[in-house]
Amino acid sequence: MISKLFLKNGWIGLILIAAFLIRIYNFSFPAFTFEEARIAYRGYTIATDANDELGRPLPLVFNSLSDYQLPLVSYISAGGQLVFGKGDFGVRVPFILLGTLLVYLVYLVARNFNPHSFFSVLSAIVVAFSPPLIFLSKTPNEVIVLTFFFTLLFYLLVKKNIWFAALVIVAAVLTSKLAWFILLPFVVFTSFFYSKISNKQKLILISFCAILLVLTVLLFLKVPQSERSFKENNFPLFDAITIKNGIDKLRGQGLQSGWPPPVDRLLFNKTHFLSTGFLHWLSNISPSYYFGRVDNSGTVSYSFIGALSKVLILPFVLGVFFLIKKGMRRERLILFFILLLTFPYFFLYPNFKGDLVILTLPFMALIISYGFMQMRKKWVIVVLSLMVAEVGINIFSLASEYKNTADLRPFWIKELSFEIVESSKTIKTAVSDDIAFDIAPYLGWYTEADPQSGYLKIDWAYKFRQYQFGSIKVIGSDESFKSCGSDERMRVFASKRDLEKIEKEFEVRIEKRYRDINKENKVYLTEGACI
Amino acid sequence: MIKKIYLILLVIMLLGIFWRFLKLADFPVQLNHDEVTQLYDAISVAQTSKDVYGNFLPFIFHSVGDFKPPFYTYITGVFYMVFGGGELTIRLPGVLFGILLIPAVFLFTLRLFKNNKIALMAAFFTAVAPFEIFFSRKSFENGAGIFLMILGFSSLLYYFEKKVKVRYLYIASLFFGLAIYTYFSHAIIIPILLSVFIFIFRQDFHSRKNIILPVLIFLLFFIPLLILTFTNEDSRNRTQAVFVTQDLNLVKEINLGNRIKATLDFSWNRYLDQFNPMYIFGNGLDFTNQGPLGVGPLLLIQLPLVILGIIYLVRLGDFNREKKFILAWILIGMLPSGLTFEPHSPHRSIMVFTMLNVISALGLYLLFKHRKLIVVLFILFIINYLYFLHMYFVNFPFEKSENIHYPFKQVALFAWSQHGSVDQIIFDPLFGETAPVIGTAAHYYMAYYGNFPPSKFQKEYRTGEKEREVLFDKFSIRKVEWRDDQYLKNVLIIGSRWSLPIESINKSKVVKTFNYYNGQPAFYAVKL
C-alpha cells in the first residue's frame, strides 16, 4: 500500500523537491542582465509607490532597450517584493515557484497523455533538469512565465476547463507579444485534437481568443512607436536589408549576363522572404539548439549546454521514431506543437533568441519520455544518470559561465553601483554609459537610491536609455571633458573609452580601478575631470 | 519491364551527363588553386614519376599550405596521358566519377530497397542535385571516393542476395581499399562505416570463412595507409590543421575553463549543427555573399521530400538492418564536417547528401500516386532548378570568382606573353575586392599556363630571401615593396592596389589591367 502510494505520489514529490533545490541552489546566480535588473527595480518601484521606474502610475506597457515590455512579469516581480521586500529573494522566489510548478504541471499533462506512471515521472524529470528551465526559474523574465502558461493552457483544455483556460489566455496575452502570434493556432489545435470540449465551447473559446487578440493588437497600435515595435521585434524578416539587396543584386547580375528579365523576375522576387523565413524557422529548432547549445551568450540559459542534456537525444530520436511508427494520432500530433510554438521564428530572421525553443520544452519532454518508454529500464537509468551528471557539471561548475557572461551579467557591478550612489550624495557624480549595456537599472536595483529621483515621466518610452538618474549623470559617447575649475568638483566613474578621452585632454588622477571577473579593468574612478 | 527501367536510367544518365558537361570549360570560370596544383602535379608525375617538388611517386602530395591524398592526382595523370595537359583534363575525372555515381546509386538503392522506382528516383536526384553537379564539375576528389564506397557497399549487398557468389566480397574489398586513398576523411570513415555495416548485417555473412580473405585484402590496403598516416608528418599536420581545435571560438572557450569539456561541448554542437536546414537546403554551397540567398547542397524542393522519406522509412516495416545502416551512414558521414575547424564544410559531407538524395527518392515515391501533387511538385522543381542554374552559371562567378583566384589565369598568360621582353617577372598574389588576401598556388598557375616543363620546375623551384618569395625561371612570386622595387629595370611587376600605389604610378608604365569577373580591377601589370 505504502509502496503503491509512493509510486503514485512519492516520485513526483522527490522530483519536485529536487527541482526546487536545484533552483534555489546558488541563489544569487545568475547575476541580472540590465533588462532583468530593470524588471526587478520596476517591481520595487511599483510595490512601494505604484509607479514604474520612470515614474508612470501603473502602466500596462513598459520600457526596455529592445522592445516595449508587457506588464505581467513586472507585476509578478512587484508582487514578490510586496511580500518579501526588496532584494534577490523577493524577485527570484515567484519565478522559482513558477519553475517548480511547471515540473508538476508537466507531470499532470503527461498523465493525461499516457496513463503509465513511469511516463509522467520521466516527463517531469526531463523538465526538472532542463538547463534553461532551471536558469530562467532564477531570474525575472517572460519566457518561463509564458512556458508555464502554454503548458497550463494545454492542461486546462485537455481537462475541459474552458473558463480557466480563458483566464490563462488573458494572462498570456499580457505576458509577451510572442504569445499573440502563437495563442490562436495553439488554442485551435489543442481544442480540436486534444480537448473533448463540445463544438459550441470550442467556438466560444476560439472566438474569445481571436477577439481578444484583435482587440489587443488594435489597442497596442494606438501606442506611439507600436508599428516600429512590431517591425523591429516581431517582423524583422520583412526589413532584412540583406535579402532586399540580395534580390536586386542577383537579379542585376542575371540581366547583365543576358538572362531574360521575366525569368530573372520569376527567380528573384519577394518569395525569397518566405523561403528565408521558412528555413530560418526550421533552422532554429534544429537539434543543435536542443542538444548542443541553446544560447552561447548566457541570456536565457547556461552558455555551454543545450536546452536539454546531450544524452537525451537518444530517447528523443527513439520517441520521434516510435511516435511516427506506432503512435496514436493524438500522440503523434504532439510533434506539431514544436512547430506551432516556434512559428514566430519565421518572421524573426536574422535574429535568434532561445525563448521559443524553451516554450517547446514541456512538449519535448513528452516526446523524450515516449522514447524512454521504448528503452529497457537499465538504459533509461543510464541515460538519466548521464543527464543528471551533465546538468550537474554545468550547474555546479560555473567558473567559465561567470567569465563568459562578465559583461552581460556583471556580478561586479553591485559594489560599483553602491559606490556611485554613495558618491552622488556628497559630490557631483558621472558614470560612463558603456560600462554596462544600461547602467541605470543597476543603480536603482542594487542601491538604496530614492526611486523618485529617477522618475522622468516619459509617457511612452520605447528603447529609452536613462542618462540622468537623480543627481547622477550618465555619460554618452558624445560628451567631452574639461579639467574641473577651482570651484568645481566631480567624480567620474569612467570606462576605458572615457578615460582615454580624458587623458587625451589633460592629466587625471585615477583613484580606484574596478575589475570584472576576467580581471580586466572595466571602470576607473577619476577626480579632476568635469563635463 | 527491365528494358524500360534501363532505358529510363539511361535517360537519367544522359541528363546527368548534360549538366556535368554543359560549358564545362567555362564554368567554373577558372581552374581553382586545388585544380591547378593537382593538374600540374599529375603532369609532373606522368612525365617524371616525381611531383613538382621532386618526390618520387609520393603517397601524399604537397599542395600549398595543404596536402592532397594520392588517388585523384594519379588518376589525373592517366587522363593526362590520354587527353594531354589541357584544362579539361583535371575536370574530366571528377565529371566521370560524377556520371558513374548515377548508376552506382541506382544499384545501391535497388539492393537496399528492392524497388526499381525508388532506385530510379534516387538516380535522378543524383543526376541533378546541386552538390553533385557543383563538386563533379570542380574536380573534387571526394566524388571518386563516394563512387567507390557506394560500389563497395552495393557489392556487399549483392553478395547477400547471391549467397554463393563470394567474388562480390573480393570486389567490395577492392573498392573500399581504393576508396580510402581518395580523400583523407575516407581513411577513417570507411573503416568505421564498414565495421558498423558488418555488425548490422553480421547474420548475412553466411560463413566466417568467406569473409576472412576479403577482410585481409582490405587490410592490405588499409594497413600501409595507417602506417603512413601515423609516420608521415605531413599527414599528421594536415589532420591537426583542419581539426576543430583550430577554431578560434573554441580556443576562446578553452581559455575560459576546462579544455576537455569545452572541446567536447563545442565539437558536439558543431556536429549537430551540420543538420541545420538552412545549410542543407538554403545556402550551404556558399555561392553568394548575399546572406540567406544561395543554394544548398540539396534543392529546397527536396526538403519536404526528405521529411516524407524519413516518415516513409520509419513506417516501413521494423527497425530493420537497412534502416540502421542508413542512420549509421548519415551519423558517421557527418563526423568529418562536424569535427573540423570550419562551421560547415559541405565537401566533407558529400556521402551524407548522397544518402539524403536516396531518402528524397523515398519521399517522392510516397507521393507518386498523387498525380496532381506531382504536377505541382514538378513545376516547383523546374523553378527551383532554374534558380540553381542561374546561381551556378551567373551569380556564383560574379560573387565568388575571387575565391577561385580569378584572374590568375589571365595574369599568368600575360606574364608569359612578356616573358621574352623582360629580365624578371614579379607577381604579388595579394589581392581582394574588399579585403586583402594572399592567393595561394601562384607559382603553379605560372608554371602550368606557361607549359613550363615539370622536370625543369623541380630543379629551379626554390624559396627566396624576400617576404613570401618563391622563385623559378624568371618568376619571383613575392610581396612587392614598391619603395625599393620601383627602381628596378626591365622588370614586369604584377600586383593589386593592395601592393601597388597605382594612382601615383605613371600611367604609361601600367601596361595591363586584369579585372575580376565583375569587371572591377584586380591586378595591374607595371613594366619598368
Contact A283 B277 (CB under 8 A): yes
- Please name the residue that has the C-alpha cell 488573458: A170
Q: How far is CA B444 from CA B42, B81, B374, B514, in A?
A: 12, 19, 49, 19
Cβ contact B467:B426 at 8 Å: no
* Listed residue (B445, B454, B459) closest to B514, CA to CA: B445
Q: Is A276 at the interface with chain B, CB within 8 A?
A: yes
Q: Which three cell numbers stand for residue B182?
A: 581518395
Contact A266 B282 (CB under 8 A): no
CB A257 to CB B394 under 8 A? yes
Looking at beta carbons, which residues of chain B come within 8 Å of A255? none
Mean pLDDT in chain A?
Answer: 94
The confidence score (pLDDT) of residue B319 equals 58
Interface test with A, best of B319, B390, B396 (most A CBs within 10 A): B390
Label the pairing between strands B424-427 and B475-477: parallel
CB contact under 8 A, A286 and B281: no
In chain B, residues with a C-beta closer than 8 Å to the C-beta of A257 are 393-394
Which has the higher per-residue pLDDT, B160 or A148? A148
Nearest-CA residue of chain B relative to A307? Answer: B269
Rounded to whole angstroms, what are the CA distances from A375 to A109, A314, B18, B62, B454?
21, 10, 50, 50, 63
pLDDT at A282: 96
The arithmetic mean of pLDDT across residues A227-247, rounded, is: 96
A350/B290 Cβ within 8 A: no
Nearest CA-CA partner of B298 in B281, B284, B273, B285:
B281
Name the residue type at position B174.
L
Give which of A161, A196, A194, A168 is closest to A182, Cα–Cα: A168
Residue A5 has pLDDT above 60, yes or no: no
Residue of B nearest to A322 (CA): B314
The interaxial angle of helices B186-200 and B167-179, nearest 10 deg, is 150
For the four alpha carbons of B200, B206, B212 and B216, in that order, the dihedral sign comes to negative
- For A432-454, what is the mean pLDDT? 90
Question: What are A220's three cell numbers?
Answer: 497596442
How far is the alpha carbon of B290 from chain A, nearest alpha carbon, in Å? 5
- N-terminal to C-terminal alpha carbon distance within chain B: 73
What distance in Å separates the CA atoms of residue A83 and residue A63, rounded to the nearest whole number? Answer: 24
Phi, then psi, of A469 in degrees rounded to 5:
-120, 100
> How far is A399 from A407, CA to CA, in rounded Å?
14
Please determine, for residue B336, whether its predicted confidence score (pLDDT) is greater than 60.
Answer: yes
- pLDDT cut 90: percent of chain B above it: 82
Q: Phi and psi for B510 in degrees, rounded to 5?
A: -85, 100
Residue A352 has pLDDT above 90, yes or no: no
What the block records as the C-alpha cell of B155 is 557489392
Residues of A in contact with B276 (CB under 8 A): 283, 286, 288
Whether residue A191 contacts residue A197, with contact meaning beta carbons closer than 8 Å, is answered with yes
CA B375 – CA A223 distance, rounded (Å): 48
User: Residue A115: what pLDDT?
Assistant: 86
Positive or negative, the Cα torsion across A260, A266, A270, A273? Answer: negative
Calculate the average pLDDT of chain B. Answer: 93
B277: nearest CB among A246, A263, A286: A286
Nearest CB neighbour to A293, from listed B269, B281, B292: B269
Beta bridge partners of B494: B427, B525
Cβ proximity of B468 and B443 under 8 Å: no
More confident residue, A125 or B203: A125
| Residue A219, amino acid | L
State the DSSP string of B354-403: HHHHHHHHHHHHHHTT-HHHHHHHHHHHHHHHHHHHHIIIIIHHHHHGGG
Whether chain B has a CB inside 8 Å of the CB on A150: the answer is no
What ipTM was estimated for this complex?
0.93
**Minimal CA–CA distance to A158: which of A334, A11, A324?**
A334
d(CA B125, CA B122): 5
Give the least confident one: A106-110, A157-161, A480-484, B89-93.
A480-484
pLDDT given for residue B61 in this prediction = 87
| β-sheet bridge partners, residue A493 | A431, A525
Please write the tens of the pLDDT for every residue from A36-77: 999 999 999 999 999 999 999 999 999 999 999 999 999 999
Biggest CA–CA distance in chain B, Å, is 81
Long-range contacts from A210-213, C-beta under 8 angstroms, 24+ separation: A210/A184, A212/A169, A212/A170, A212/A173, A213/A173, A213/A180, A213/A183, A213/A184
pLDDT(A435) > 90: yes
Bond from prior residue into B191 cis (ω within 30 degrees of 0)? no
Residue that has been written with the C-alpha cell 575580376 in this structure: B516
Distance CA B240, CA B67 (A): 12
CA-based nearest residue in chain B for residue A321: B314
How long a stretch of residues is chain A? 531
Is the minimum CB–CB distance between A243 and chain B shorter than 8 Å? yes
pLDDT of A3 > 60? The answer is no
Read off the pLDDT of each residue in B503-527 and give the average, rounded to a whole number: 95
Q: What is the mean pLDDT of residues A219-232?
A: 96
Distance CA B435, CA B440 (A): 15
- Per-residue pLDDT of A485-512, as tens digits, reads 888 889 999 999 999 999 998 888 899 9
To which H or E segment does residue B62 belong? Answer: strand B61-62
pLDDT tens for residues A90-105? 999 999 999 999 999 9
Residue A80, by phi and psi: left (phi above 0), alpha (psi -120 to 50) or beta? Answer: alpha
Three-state DSSP class for residue B235:
helix
The answer to whether A329 touches A382, Cβ cutoff 8 Å, is no
- Under 8 Å CB-to-CB from A115, ≥6 apart: which residues? none
pLDDT at position A179 is 97
- In the prediction, which pLDDT does B34 show? 92
> What pLDDT is attached to residue B237?
74
**CA B55 from centroid of its chain's CA atoms:** 24
**Among the listed ranges A375-389, A439-453, B202-216, B327-341, which one has the minimum average pLDDT value?**
B202-216
Task: Give me the pLDDT at residue B3, please.
Answer: 86
Nearest CB partner across the interface for B386, out of A247, A263, A293:
A263
Q: Which of A231, A338, A348, A365 shows the shortest CA–CA distance to A279?
A: A348
- For the segment A372-420, what is each residue's pLDDT rounded down to a tens digit? 999 999 999 999 999 999 999 999 999 999 999 999 999 899 999 999 9
Exposure string of A155-172, with b = 16+ CB inside 10 Å and e = fewer, is bbbbbeebeebbebbebb
Task: List, for residues B15-35, the tens digit of each pLDDT value.
Answer: 999 999 999 999 999 999 999
Instruction: Answer yes or no: is pLDDT of A2 > 60.
Output: no
Tally helices (H) and strands (E) across chain A.
Answer: 26, 8
**Distance in angstroms (rounded) separating the CA atoms of residues B282 and A119:** 38
Conformation bin of residue B451: beta by default, left when phi > 0, alpha when psi is -120 to 50? left
Helix (H) or strand (E) holding A366: helix A361-372
Output the pLDDT for position A8: 64
Chain B residue at shortest CA distance from A517: B256
Structure confidence by residue, pLDDT tens digits, B362-403: 999 999 889 999 999 999 999 999 999 999 999 999 999 999
Maximal CA-CA distance, chain A: 85
- The CB-side HSE value for B124 (13 A sphere, CA atoms) comes to 20
Can you say how many angstroms the Cα of residue B116 is from the centroid of all Cα atoms in its chain? Answer: 30
Mean pLDDT computed over B418-444: 95
Distance from CA of A235 to the nearest CA of B (A): 16
Give the integer Cα–Cα distance in Å for A188 and A472: 52
pLDDT, tens digit, 9 for 90 and up, residues B183-203: 888 989 999 999 999 999 988
